[in-house]
Amino acid sequence: MLERHRPDLRQGGASHPMAVNETVIALLRPKPNMARVAVDPPYVQAAADGPDGIGTIASYWTEVPLPATGTWNTPGRGGAQADLVLTAPQDRAPLLFTEVDNCHETAEQIAAKLEKYGRFFRRKGKDTDGRERPMWRTRWSAPATWAADATSRPCCWCSTGSASATPTAPSRA
């Protein structure tokens, strides 16, 4: 009954949070109740028979501040905010920063966002053992095969809109 009275979240300004949620669901690939899909079309059955997803719901964090200045709890200006951070070492995805784009940002805005990520990845901080290391390593672990002084981490940029979508402002590039 409540569903009939709830407005479409995408029309109410929640298109980006909904796109982030849909990205998590797409990566998780939860298995449906097979009794319910037994009578569905073949493409639904094919999706149900597809490979497992990545991680569990606990593997995902949304809207994570990546401070270029300040602290984890009180980020300063100039840092990024990751739409998703995935940690699923059991699925060979130990750490993945994800940006979800609805194709509403200009090339300049995207470049500025990537620069904020770069500032965060270059930032150093003291870990609990007192050693200086990249700040991201003070919160997330990574396989020993990753260099401790690496300044970039795996980032994924997901575009959820049409490639021909018109951005809110034209690019000057």
Q: 15-45: per-residue pLDDT in tens?
A: 888 888 888 888 888 776 767 767 777 777 7
Q: How far is CA 26 from the centre of its chain?
A: 12
pTM: 0.72
pLDDT of residue 43: 72
Q: Which of 52, 58, 7 is nearest to 26 (CA)?
A: 52
Q: What is the pLDDT averaged over residues 55-69? A: 92
Q: What is the pLDDT averaged over residues 97-123? A: 89
Centre a 10 Å sphere on the Cβ of residue 59 and count the other Cβ atoms it contains: 21
By DSSP bridging, strand 124-126 and strand 132-134 are: antiparallel
**Higher per-residue confidence, 24 vs 50:** 24
Question: Is residue 61 scored above 90 in pLDDT?
Answer: yes
